[in-house]
Chains A and B, each alone.
Chain A
Amino acid sequence: MITETPVIEVNGLVRRYGRTDAVNGIDLRVQAGRCYGFFGRNGAGKTTTIKCLLNLLRPTSGQAKLFGLDPARHEVAVKSRLAYVPDHVAFYPWMSVRETLDYFASFRGHWNLDTERRLLGQFRLDVRQKTSHLSKGQRTQLALITAICPEPELLVLDEPTSGLDPIVRREFIQTVIGAYQEGEPGRRTVFVSTHLISEFEGLIDEFTIIEHGRNVLTLPADTARERYQKIYARFSVEPAGLDLAGARVLRRQGREIEIVVNGNSSDVLERLRARSPETLTAESLSLEEIFVAALQPEGVTA
């Protein structure tokens, strides 16, 4: 069987700052053509992991590979195939938008001028404007143009939409779907770290949640939504001795009960149905709710 080399492969990645473990054994495997979400709270180790991928930090131990290559040993080969949009975008303040684009293009073997022209028009950016005069939203848009025009195989986005207004955020995501994913979708991989999960809900097809520098959960998005369900039941009288094993109780008040289940919804639903509820509904959790459920202490389980 031929297995394709993953675009990103991280094994047991550890990175310490002094005595603090920022990353403490992360594993990741991102196949080509996927849009992969990397979720975690502030300080969970997302940016440190990304910096190790980009060879901006050396791992203390463990291994990160991009396109099957060690980013430290093959820095140019790796970096020519990816683009990175950080959370705080910095450009040379004395350069205009035009000069900035030319500067970025000068490092690239390939630059799609058509895409550049289209995106400049779409974002209504004035090429004569100095980058120091751009708003935060406009700086992010410029960074996105510099990332998409080289048509890289991998687009790494670190908290790309935090602090942006809703219109810029919308345009940002549409640009990633439209302009970036358009050509050769099998070779356009997105790796996005964010805690604004709901914005990327439709885009993500697989994700990893980390906490304290460790993996918590890795699942395809559709599987996760199928597995994590919120069940609401209302009985005619308060039910006594209800068997809620395997469910996490969110709310229980008189005749009503609201619970979250993980993978065993049909089993739990069956037990609830046996008690003839007046109302019984089940709906999937959103990725954001799954994130919260995955990081909540187990103590709440009934």
Chain B
Amino acid sequence: MRFQLNFKSGKPVYLQLVDQVKSAAASGAVQPGELLPSIRPLAEELRVNRNTVAKAYAELENQRVIETIAGKGCFVRESGSPFKKDIRLKLLAQEIDDAVVQAHHLQIARAEFLRLAEDRFDAFEHKRTSAGS
């Protein structure tokens, strides 16, 4: 998978890596069982501290997005979050709140916002089917 870092996003670099793996897993850009690049080459390629990549992978392992097999590397797991559903919903609600606030400032009405959300679901599903074929 390809990583793209943006030092101007205000989001800690390791979290950017975490989110990119999670979103790649959600869209099917990486499939369960697929191997992620190992820490050293990825750190060299992105020119970031090795510890940053190690921290991201540790966090992904914590969230059960990937699993590390000693001597073999880090693999994407079957999707399945360790959190209970209500906690998962709450986590998502925070993200949606941000988008709702943003929509307000961009003067996007509720109906349009919901239509966009549908479109995005379709887009991800489309990506997943074309990645799987």
A100 on the B face (CB < 8 A): no
A75 within 8 A of B: no
Chain A interface residue count, Cβ-Cβ cutoff 8 angstroms: 28
B37 interfacial by beta-carbon distance below 8 Å:
no
Contact A201 B52 (CB under 8 A): no
Q: Which of B25-33, B38-46, B66-74, B123-131 contacts A (4 or more CB under 8 A)?
A: B38-46
In chain A, residues 128-178, which have Cβ atoms closer than 8 Å to a Cβ of chain B?
170, 173-174, 177-178
The CA of A260 and the CA of B10, in the complex, are separated in Å by 13
Per-residue 0/1 for A255-298: is the Cβ within 8 Å of any B Cβ (1 yes, 0 no)?
Answer: 00000000000000000010001001011111100000000000
- A-contacting residues, B45-72, CB 8 Å: 46-52, 54
Tell whether A177 pairs with B8 under 8 Å between CB atoms, given A185-B54, A273-B105: no
Query: Given contacts A177-B47, A185-B51, A202-B48, are A286 and B105 in contact (CB under 8 A)?
Result: no
A285 to B9, CA, bound (A): 9
Cβ B44 vs Cβ A178 within 8 A: yes
A119 CB-CB contact with B under 8 Å:
no
* B8–A283 touching, CB < 8 Å: yes
Given the interface pairs A222-B13, A226-B12, the reply to whether A185 lies near B50 with Cβ below 8 Å is yes
Q: 9 A-B residue contacts at CB 8 Å?
A: A174-B44, A174-B47, A177-B44, A177-B48, A178-B41, A202-B7, A222-B14, A225-B10, A283-B9
Q: Which residues of B contact A202 (CB under 8 A)?
A: 5, 7, 13, 46-49, 52
Contact of B43 among A177, A222, A285 (CB under 8 A): A177
Q: Which residues of the partner chain A approach B8 to less than 8 Å between Cβ atoms?
A: 225, 283-286
Q: Is A6 in the interface zone, CB < 8 Å from B?
A: no
Interface string of B64-95 (1 = CB under 8 A from A): 00000000000000000000000000000000
Q: Which residues of A contact B48 (CB under 8 A)?
A: 177, 202-203
Nearest 7 pairs between A and B by C-beta?
A202-B48, A222-B12, A284-B10, A181-B50, A283-B8, A178-B44, A174-B44
Query: Complex formed: what's the CA distance from A203 to B7 in Å?
Result: 12
Q: Is A204 an interface residue, CB under 8 A from the partner?
A: yes
- Counting contact residues on chain B (CB < 8 A from A), the size range is 20 to 34
Q: Which A residues lie within 8 Å of B44 (CB)?
A: 174, 177-178
Give the chain B neighbours of A170 by CB distance below 8 A. Answer: 47
The answer on a CB contact under 8 Å between B10 and A205 is no
**Which residues of chain A are near B40, meaning CB under 8 Å?**
177-178, 181-182
* Chain A residues in 8 Å Cβ range of B54: 185
* Bound-complex Cα distance A204 to B52 (A): 10
* CA A285 to CA B10, docked complex, whole Å: 8
Q: Which of B12, B41, B43 contacts A181 (CB 8 A)?
A: B43
Q: Report which of A229, A280, A284 forms a contact with B105, defined as CB distance below 8 A.
A: A280
Question: Which B residues are in CB contact (< 8 Å) with A185?
Answer: 50-51, 54
A67 to B48, CA, bound (A): 25
Set of chain B residues within 8 Å of A280, measured between Cβ atoms: 105
* 19 further interface pairs, Cβ-Cβ under 8 Å (given A177-B48, A203-B48, A287-B7): A170-B47, A173-B47, A177-B44, A177-B50, A178-B41, A178-B43, A178-B44, A181-B49, A181-B51, A182-B50, A202-B13, A202-B48, A202-B52, A203-B49, A205-B52, A282-B10, A283-B8, A284-B8, A284-B9
Let me know if B10 and A35 touch, CB within 8 A.
no
